[in-house]
Amino acid sequence: MKSIKRNRATDYTNLNRAGTFLGKLLLKLNKLFFSATICVICGSLCRVKSFQLLFFLVVALNVTAQNVLMSEYPNEDTIIPKYGPNLKKFYFVYIGYEAFADDFSDNSANIRNRASGRTSFGFKFKRRITNFWALGYDINMSSSTFSIKQNSQKTFPSVAIHKKERLMIGGLGIQIFTRFNFDRRGNTIGKYLDIGGYINWNYTSQHFTKDFTTPADSSNALTIKTTESQLNYFENYEYGVKASLGSNHFAISATYRISDITKSSFVGFPEMPRLSVGINLALY
């Protein structure tokens, strides 16, 4: 039995050696055939006045030398991208500032418009429906500041006169909007108009005052600052409409609050301005 096994192993070894030798022989014959072919073609070129045969040879070698990358990497070449400024889905963060405008109402609070405004930071998602229409939502955090004028006509939130006085409302909100694009474009935002509605949860509210005083027994001025939190005369929720007209990274925005922000139970308290206008910057 041992001698039979040894003979079989020897036979397998001889077959492997014969196969290797045959492969090398075929490779040499292929090289010789290729060299002979080149010689024949060169000899033919000496007798042909045109270069058509040479052109055919170059094209044939070029075709045989090409690698079809799509067949080697089908996943990388056939996947259609879906994320981008003008593709199926796109999301980005933004910052914005809007100044409160005078709504010319007799019941409006007497504020300093230039020093009053809303700062916001948010996340915006857009889903393209067609080339010129998209839907989206906006989740944001905002801080609204109202600087109160200090004069003899002041009645809100008290008649006391301060060096500086302001109210602040912090909110978390969500907006649903529809977008209309105006121009043909590549993979960019382009020119657009956003129109939508929003609702905010006012999670905090504060009242700040600042005064300077000089005690009778000292020439050094003292600064007195006060802060009142969770003001009970402001509503916890508000809602309204918003529009933005933009081009790529920049947009002019306007927000109009429909709901009252001052509780109706506080008779004689004025309403905060409803309209604000400003600019947004998209960060992407």
Q: What is the pLDDT of residues 112-156, one digit of tens each?
A: 888 999 999 999 999 999 989 999 999 999 999 999 999 888 888
| Same domain membership, residue 220 and residue 118 | yes
Identify whether residues 18 and 127 lie together within a single domain: no
For residue 98, report the phi and psi dihedrals to the nearest 5 degrees: -130, 135
Q: Which two tokens stand for residue 107?
A: 């019941």
User: Do 155 and 65 fall into the same domain?
Assistant: no
> Which CATH number fits the domain that encloses residue 98?
2.40.160
Q: Is residue 12 part of a domain?
A: yes
Output the pLDDT for position 213.
Answer: 79
Same domain as 209, residue 144: yes
Give the pLDDT of residue 169. 97
Residues 268 and 209 both lie in one domain: yes
The whole domain housing 67 covers 2-78
61 lies in the same domain as 102: no
pLDDT at 255: 97
Question: Are 139 and 185 part of one and the same domain?
Answer: yes
pLDDT of residue 23: 54
Residues 218 and 55: their CA atoms lie apart, in Å, by 104
Tell me whether residue 83 is in a domain. Answer: no
Under-50 pLDDT residues of the chain = 1-6, 9, 12, 15, 39-41, 44-72
User: Max alpha carbon distance in the chain (Å)?
Assistant: 123
DSSP 111-158: B-GGG-EEEEEEEEEEEEEETTEEEEEEEEEEEEEEEBP-STT--SS-
The number of folded domains in the chain is 2
Domain end point (choices 78, 97, 115)? 78
Residues 277, 146 within the same domain: yes
- In this predicted structure, what is the pLDDT of residue 66? 44
